[in-house]
Homo-oligomer: A and B are copies of this chain.
């Protein structure tokens, strides 16, 4: 077997050295009620070529973004990833190392994580950040959990523009007393509803920006209001590229920020692996979940980096830890930081503007299609349209024309009829004028 270095001869020598005859003797602690060497209803080994052909045949049955005119978003965005990103993350020393527990031989990982933490803090406008979470949704849940610990309060209020699956995750994991989280997905979220629900029992208010439908919000006023109850404002960012030309959550008064970082460096991957970013004000650092890298010096006074503040973590604090997270999104954070370093201020801002322009252009095209209405007043690179037919039917038909047209809101909220005809459409630097024309032409055919 190509991955197993031991030869039969090696195995026999090793058995000899141990002083046994058969490897099964090593399994003698297994009680007899448990069958050793059970029959498995699975095939035997395959050659590399066979595996490659088989999995390629599965891959070939998926319609991939690059082969289409592509408009999907709602928490997962297709951006162009520079080729050097993938080269770097495939470096053996990054790909095949573990969590940097031995800092003296992990300075590569530790330094890029330190840089990553700084980049994330700058983007979100916050003081500090950790070394990544699984994804945006779990980062959001962890942010809420942090807020609960910090405030010593249980109650959570979710804005109605939060991604439905994010709301689900919070509900599943943190809705301790089965309270209502006051969540009901709603297009025009002017936060009135939300303001009404806040009380001095509220641990935090969770707002996504731009929201699930693509609307952009200035949260400056809201944050003041939330703070007046001693509650925290948790801001969720699904599309970090928006941070190039929007006020940062920090500037608007956020206490904790959770982002999905997939947009930078990470491909769509059918939903995972992605990367959660988590930032906060510095006074909350000891309630942060997950790994954090800090700067220090070695015995000779030379600068170096280590995992730090680990008394927050499960391997030290066990049941008293801030979270149970252990493995995080290491390599995805590398991809993120490499992509962002390549962009830099200048490139990141251009990218952000280009995304926005792309969406504006698409909106101008769509405005001309009679029967389709754009619902958003504001948007970054994503907006919601109302169709004259069911959005689900629409995207299915569009897909037959090689167009992946958007995410029907009903995909996520099938039980809610009001969204039946709503479609969320995203647009990034990958979309060209040709894509827009294809969209318009096909849409007109389908709805007419």
Nearest chain B CB to A55's CB is how many angstroms away?
12
Q: Mark A340-363, 1 if CB is under 8 A from B, else 0.
A: 001000000000000000000000
Nearest chain B CB to A340's CB is how many angstroms away?
14
Nearest chain B CB to A64's CB is how many angstroms away?
13
A residues 66-96 touching B (CB-CB < 8 Å): 80, 82-83, 87, 90-92
| A58 interface residue (CB < 8 Å to B) | no
* A430 & B80 in contact (Cβ 8 Å cutoff): no
With a cutoff of 8 Å between Cβ atoms, the chain B residues found around residue A429 in the complex are 49
When the two chains form the complex, which single residue of B52, B80, B87 contacts A49, counting CB atoms closer than 8 Å? B80
| A35 interface residue (CB < 8 Å to B) | no
| A417 interface residue (CB < 8 Å to B) | no
With a cutoff of 8 Å between Cβ atoms, the chain B residues found around residue A342 in the complex are 2
A residues 1-37 touching B (CB-CB < 8 Å): 2
Q: Mark A83-121, 1 if CB is under 8 A from B, else 0.
A: 100010011100000000000000000000000000000
| A192 interface residue (CB < 8 Å to B) | no
Q: How far is the CA of A261 from the CA of B9 in the complex (A)?
A: 33
| A319 interface residue (CB < 8 Å to B) | no
* A82 & B430 in contact (Cβ 8 Å cutoff): no
Q: How far is the CA of A49 from the CA of B81 in the complex (A)?
A: 9
* A48 & B82 in contact (Cβ 8 Å cutoff): yes
User: How many residues on chain A are close to B (CB under 8 Å)?
Assistant: 14
A residues 158-181 touching B (CB-CB < 8 Å): none
Q: How far is the CA of A48 from the CA of B430 in the complex (A)?
A: 11
With a cutoff of 8 Å between Cβ atoms, the chain B residues found around residue A91 in the complex are 91-92
When the two chains form the complex, which single residue of B80, B82, B83, B90 contacts A87, counting CB atoms closer than 8 Å? B90
Q: Which B-chain residue is minimally distant from A429 (CB atoms)? A: B49
* A430 & B49 in contact (Cβ 8 Å cutoff): yes
Nearest chain B CB to A2's CB is how many angstroms away?
8
Q: Mark A241-264, 1 if CB is under 8 A from B, else 0.
A: 000000000000000000000000
A residues 323-338 touching B (CB-CB < 8 Å): none
With a cutoff of 8 Å between Cβ atoms, the chain B residues found around residue A92 in the complex are 91
When the two chains form the complex, which single residue of B48, B80, B83, B430 contacts A83, counting CB atoms closer than 8 Å? B48
With a cutoff of 8 Å between Cβ atoms, the chain B residues found around residue A90 in the complex are 87, 90
* B87 & A48 in contact (Cβ 8 Å cutoff): no
Q: Which B-chain residue is minimally distant from A51 (CB atoms)? A: B83
Q: Mark A405-448, 1 if CB is under 8 A from B, else 0.
A: 00000000000000000000000011000000000000000000
With a cutoff of 8 Å between Cβ atoms, the chain B residues found around residue A48 in the complex are 80, 82-83
Q: Which of A48, A52, A342, A430 has the most CB of B within 10 A?
A: A48
Q: How far is the CA of A92 from the CA of B83 in the complex (A)?
A: 14
With a cutoff of 8 Å between Cβ atoms, the chain B residues found around residue A87 in the complex are 90
With a cutoff of 8 Å between Cβ atoms, the chain B residues found around residue A2 in the complex are 82, 342
Q: How far is the CA of A83 from the CA of B87 in the complex (A)?
A: 15
Nearest 3 pairs of A and B residues by beta carbon: A49-B80, A48-B82, A48-B80
Give me 13 A-to-B residue pairs in the complex whose CB atoms sit less than 8 angstroms apart, sorted by A's number.
A2-B82, A2-B342, A48-B80, A48-B82, A48-B83, A49-B80, A49-B429, A49-B430, A52-B83, A87-B90, A90-B90, A91-B91, A91-B92
Residue ranges of A at the interface with B (Cβ–Cβ < 8 Å)? 2, 48-49, 52, 80, 82-83, 87, 90-92, 342, 429-430
What 11 additional pairs, Cβ within 8 angstroms, besides A2-B82, A90-B90?
A: A2-B342, A48-B80, A48-B82, A48-B83, A49-B80, A49-B429, A49-B430, A52-B83, A87-B90, A91-B91, A91-B92
